[in-house]
Amino acid sequence: MAEHLLEVRNLSVEFHTAAGVVHAVRNISYHLDRGETLAILGESGSGKSVSSAAIMNLIDMPPGRISAGQILLDGKDLLTMPPQARREANGRRIAMIFQDPLSHLNPVYTVGWQIREAMTTHGMPAEQARSEALRLLTRVGIPDPKGAMGKYPHEFSGGQRQRVMIAMALALRPDLLIADEPTTALDVTVQAEVLALLKELQRETGMGVLIITHDLGVVADIADRVVVMEKGELVETGTVRDVYKNPTHPYTKKLIGAAPGKGEMHIAQISGEPLLSVRDIRKRYGSFDALKGVSFDLRAGETMAIVGESGSGKSTLARVLLRLDEPDAGTAHWKGRDLFTLSPSELYKLRRDLQMVFQDPTQSLNPRMTVFQLVSEAWAIHPDILPKRQWRERVAELLAQVGLSVEHMSRYPHQFSGGQRQRIAIARALALEPQLIVCDEAVSALDVSVQAQVIALLDKLRRDMGISFIFIAHDLPVVRDFADYVMVMQKGEVVELGTVREIFEAPREAYTKALLAASLDPDPDVQAEHRAARLKRA
Amino acid sequence: MLSFIRKRSVASLISLVGLLVLVFFLSRLTGDPAALFLPVEASAEMKQQFRELHGLNDPLMVQFGRYVGDVVTGNLGESLRKARPALGVVTEAFVWTLWLAVITMSLVTAAAIVVGSLAAFRSGGFFDRLSSIISLVGASVPDFWLAIVAIVVFSVNLAWLPTSGTGSILHWILPIAVLFVRPFGIIVQVVRGSMIGALSSAYVKTARAKGVKAGPIIFIHALRNAMLPVITVIGDQAASLLNGAVVIETIFGFPGVGKLMIDSILQRDFNVVLAAILVTALAIFLMNLLIDLAYALLDPRIRH
In tens, the pLDDT along A214-253 reads: 889 899 999 999 999 998 999 999 999 999 999 999 999 9
pLDDT for res A258:
84
CB atoms within 10 A of CB B196: 20
A103: chain B residues, CB-CB within 8 Å: 201-203
Given a cut of 60, is residue A1 above it in pLDDT? no
First to last CA, chain B: 7
C-beta atoms of B225 and A104 within 8 A: no
Residue B60 sits at φ, ψ, to 5 deg, of: -55, -40
pLDDT for res B244:
63
Residue B176 sits at φ, ψ, to 5 deg, of: -65, -45
Interface of A with B (CB under 8 A): 56-58, 87-92, 95-96, 98, 100, 103-109, 117-118, 121-122, 152, 154-155, 165, 168-169
Q: Sorting pLDDT into bands at 50, 70 and 90, what band is B262? A: confident
Spatial separation of the C-alpha atoms in residues B123 and B129, rounded to whole Å: 8
A117: chain B residues, CB-CB within 8 Å: 207, 210, 212
C-beta atoms of A58 and B203 within 8 A: no
A121: chain B residues, CB-CB within 8 Å: 210-213, 216
CB atoms within 10 A of CB A303: 24
C-beta atoms of A104 and B203 within 8 A: yes
Spatial separation of the C-alpha atoms in residues A299 and A276, rounded to whole Å: 7
Q: Sorting pLDDT into bands at 50, 70 and 90, what band is A345? A: confident
Q: Sorting pLDDT into bands at 50, 70 and 90, what band is B31? A: low
Question: Which residue of chain B has the CA closest to A115?
Answer: B210
How far does the CA of residue A98 sit from the closest CA of chain B (Å)?
A: 8
Which amino acid is located at A215 in the chain?
D
C-beta atoms of B221 and A106 within 8 A: yes
DSSP summary character for residue A368: T
C-beta atoms of B300 and A92 within 8 A: no
Contact by Cβ (8 Å): A221, A531: yes
SS3 A503: helix
Angle at A212 (CA atoms; ends A211, A214), nearest 5 degrees: 130
C-beta atoms of A100 and B301 within 8 A: no
C-beta atoms of A98 and B212 within 8 A: no
pLDDT for res A72:
92
pLDDT for res A509:
92
Domain assignment of residue B124, given as a range: 102-265
Given a cut of 70, is residue A270 above it in pLDDT? no
Mean pLDDT of chain A: 89
Given a cut of 80, is residue B138 above it in pLDDT? yes
Of A57, A98, A168, the CB nearest to B202: A98
How far does the CA of residue B223 sit from the closest CA of chain A (Å)?
A: 11
How far does the CA of residue B210 sit from the closest CA of chain A (Å)?
A: 4
The predicted model scores a pTM of: 0.81
Choose which CATH entry (3.40.50.300, 3.90.950.10, 2.90.10.10, 3.40.140.10) describes domain A272-353+434-507: 3.40.50.300
How far does the CA of residue A56 sit from the closest CA of chain B (Å)?
A: 6
Q: Is A131 exposed, middle or buried (0-12, 13-18, 19+ CB in 10 A)?
A: exposed
CATH label of the domain that carries residue B138: 1.10.3720.10
Spatial separation of the C-alpha atoms in residues A276 and A228, rounded to whole Å: 45
How far does the CA of residue A185 sit from the closest CA of chain B (Å)?
A: 15
Report, as an integer, the average pLDDT of A451-460. 85
C-beta atoms of A108 and B298 within 8 A: yes
Whether B2 is in a domain gets the answer no
Q: Best residue in B210, B297, B302 to probe A by mutation, most A CBs within 10 Å?
A: B210
Residue B243 sits at φ, ψ, to 5 deg, of: -60, -10
pLDDT for res A415:
83
Of A56, A108, A117, the CB nearest to B224: A108
C-beta atoms of A89 and B301 within 8 A: no
In this complex, how many residue pairs, one in chain A and one in chain B, have their CB atoms less than 8 Å apart? 73
pLDDT for res A538:
65
Whether B53 is in a domain gets the answer no
Q: Which long-range contacts (CB under 8 A, 24 or more apart) does B113-116 make?
A: B113/B191, B113/B223, B113/B230, B115/B188, B115/B191, B116/B187, B116/B188, B116/B189, B116/B190, B116/B191, B116/B192, B116/B194, B116/B195
pLDDT for res B190:
94
Task: Note the pLDDT tens digit of each residue in A377-395.
Answer: 989 888 888 888 889 999 9
Report, as an integer, the average pLDDT of A89-97. 92
Predicted-complex ipTM score: 0.80
C-beta atoms of B206 and A98 within 8 A: yes
pLDDT for res A176:
94
> A296-300, B21-25, B38-42: lowest mean pLDDT where?
B38-42
A98: chain B residues, CB-CB within 8 Å: 202, 205-206
How far does the CA of residue B233 sit from the closest CA of chain A (Å)?
A: 20
Instruction: Specify the number of domains making up chain B.
Output: 1
Q: Which residue has the higher pLDDT, B4 or A513?
A: A513
Task: Note the pLDDT tens digit of each residue in B46-83.
Answer: 878 877 877 777 887 888 888 788 777 877 777 777 77
pLDDT for res A337:
87
Question: Which residue of chain B has the CA closest to A96?
Answer: B209
Given a cut of 70, is residue B164 above it in pLDDT? yes
Report, as an integer, the average pLDDT of A307-325. 88
Parallel, antiparallel or unpaired: strands A493-499 and A329-334: unpaired
User: Which residues have CB under 8 Å from A369's CB, separation 6+?
Assistant: A377, A412, A413
Task: Note the pLDDT tens digit of each residue in B183-237.
Answer: 999 999 999 999 999 999 999 999 999 999 999 999 999 999 999 999 999 998 9
Q: Which of A102, A96, A117, A108 is nearest to A161 (CA)?
A: A102
Q: Is B253 left (phi over 0), alpha (psi -120 to 50) or beta?
A: left
C-beta atoms of B211 and A100 within 8 A: no
SS3 A122: coil
Spatial separation of the C-alpha atoms in residues A307 and A478, rounded to whole Å: 11
Of A58, A108, A121, the CB nearest to B212: A121
How far does the CA of residue A483 sit from the closest CA of chain B (Å)?
A: 37
How far does the CA of residue B216 sit from the closest CA of chain A (Å)?
A: 9
Spatial separation of the C-alpha atoms in residues A126 and B89, rounded to whole Å: 54
Parallel, antiparallel or unpaired: strands A274-285 and A329-334: antiparallel
